[in-house]
Chain A
């Protein structure tokens, strides 16, 4: 399993792996928003946590179809399926690799981009914490969506249609926690709810994703 993780990370880092694309996308979204809503600092700082969350979510979505698609096309997914690791383990490792190359950099970049958005001072801390807890759920849910659509020729658009509704609860609690934390209110309840979604997704979704993968490899 560790070998698989290292292999996935290496593939992602090398040229054509798409590493950093999500980050660049995140940067562009955060740059575009002020052009759209105007440069007033008061408005920007009020919407900053929400925009950063939506931007991170979209950046995460962008690279989802890579989780299984390339391995499915060149047949290595078939080999992995016959390997002695259970399919659930493969899904979990793939989701972890996706998080390490997408979710984690996004989490680290968000406080910096928050400065662009005129985020107030406790906000940097809160956006970091909420994204750190929330993005694993995004990767895991995304891996489930990717497993559903891996057999399709043009699965990308369908994948977003399937995954985005599933992202809604995580987004609501994550953005709410970040907004409340930034405003100096107690953010414990939404934070715990989001942590619950993350834990539940990691515990249960590998089984659903593995079932979908088995159907697609049949």
Chain B
């Protein structure tokens, strides 16, 4: 019994089918109370007013946007090394969720930036890196969409994801070098002192957990769809071979 057993699509389908309702349930159980707690039962912050409450969407979506790319990098590597279909399909499934999270983070950031900094957009390192991350997601998805053969597409997008990751990190540091910005540093970390007071921190943690579970649920659903699509494609090819 090892983790790789679930690289078998049939086993993966069976397991994910069983796990999925639980994940959705847990996601609802964390995200909904987290949001309600955050939006309605926390005080207004001294300098921020009510606009502070956008943090419950902005921070989790921004975290997910970066972490989803890392997950895609790992699954792409697994595809290149061990050629498990579930892995690369999960990367494809995650890309759309990742780009959505990036857009949510950019838009909520713009809405938050207007009252706080007096502008929707500034060429700040963090904002700029997110825009660049968005472009990387777009390129990755466009390459998937452009190639007909699923295996060729899987190989090429995996190579792109790996090379893209290196350049994405390079861009992050290049942008930092290029302009110093308005955005505050990291507010949450595991080893340093927190900058967010507990009143906001606790519902925020709940929301982050909810976003992670939301991502897991969505990626499972989409991976299952993708695997069914692959199966359909194979059946289609087989039918046409019979006719010919």
Q: Which residues of A contact B175 (CB under 8 A)?
A: 172
Q: A152 contacts B138, CB within 8 Å? A: no
Does any Cβ of A come within 8 Å of B116's Cβ? no
A176-B139 Cα distance, complex, nearest whole Å: 26
Whether the Cβ atoms of A152 and B146 lie closer than 8 Å is yes
Q: Tell me, yes or no, whether A14 is within 8 Å of chain B by CB.
A: no
Q: Which of A178-218 contact B (CB under 8 A)?
A: 189-190, 193, 197, 205, 208, 211-212, 215-216, 218
Cβ of A168 and Cβ of B163 under 8 Å apart? no
Task: Label chain A's interface by main secondary structure.
Answer: helix
CB of B51 to closest CB in A, whole Å: 31
B139 touches A161 (CB 8 A): yes
Residue of B143, B146, B170 touching A197 (CB-CB under 8 A): B170
* A216 partner residues in chain B, CB cutoff 8 A: 152, 156
Q: Report the minimum CB–CB distance from A164 to chain B (whole Å).
A: 7
Q: Choose among B136, B160, B174 the residue with the greatest number of A CB atoms under 10 Å from its CB.
A: B174
Q: Is A81 an interface residue (CB 8 A)?
A: no
> How does the 8 Å CB contact mask read for B32-62 relative to A, with 1 for contact and 0 for none?
0000000000000000000000000000000
Q: Which residues of B contact A149 (CB under 8 A)?
A: 143, 146
Decide yes or no whether A132 CB sits under 8 A from chain B.
no
Q: A218–B175 Cα gap in the complex (Å)? A: 38
A212 contact set on B, CB distance < 8 A: 155-156, 159
How many A-B contacts are there with CB distance less than 8 Å? Answer: 72
B143 touches A169 (CB 8 A): no
In the complex, chain B residues whose CB is within 8 Å of the CB of A190: 177
Main secondary structure on chain B at its contact with chain A?
helix
Question: Closest CB of chain A to B136's CB: distance in Å?
Answer: 5
Interface magnitude class on chain A: 20 to 34
Q: Output the nearest chain A residue to B154 by Cβ-Cβ distance.
A: A215
CB distance from A139 to the nearest CB of B (A): 15
Q: List, in ascending order, chain B residues with CB within 8 A of A166's CB.
A: 163-164, 167
Considering the chains assembled together, what is the distance between the CA atoms of A164 and B138 in angstroms?
11
Smallest CB gap from B160: residue in A: A148
Contacts of A168 on B, CB cut-off 8 Å? 132, 167, 171, 174
Asked if B10 CB lies within 8 Å of chain A CBs, one says no
Q: A176-B177, A193-B174 are in contact. Are A165 and B152 (CB under 8 A)?
A: no
| B residues 131-178 in Cβ contact with A at 8 Å | 132, 135-136, 138-139, 142-143, 146-147, 152, 155-156, 159-160, 162-164, 167, 170-171, 173-175, 177-178
B54 to chain A, nearest CB (A): 28
A149 to B146: give the CA distance in the assembly, Å.
9
Q: Which chain A residue lies CB-closest to B172? A: A169
A contact residues around B173 at 8 Å (CB): 169
Residues of B within 8 A of A218 (CB): 152
Contacts of A189 in B (CB 8 A): 177
Smallest Cβ distance from A196 to chain B, in angstroms?
A: 9
User: Which residues of A are found within 8 Å of B138, using beta-carbon distances?
Assistant: 161
Contact partners of B147 in chain A: CB under 8 A: 151-152
Cβ–Cβ contact A148 & B143, under 8 A? yes
**Residue ranges of B at the interface with A (Cβ–Cβ < 8 Å):** 132, 135-136, 138-139, 142-143, 146-147, 152, 155-156, 159-160, 162-164, 167, 170-171, 173-175, 177-178
| Pairs A-B, 4 closest by C-beta atoms | A169-B170, A172-B174, A169-B174, A165-B135
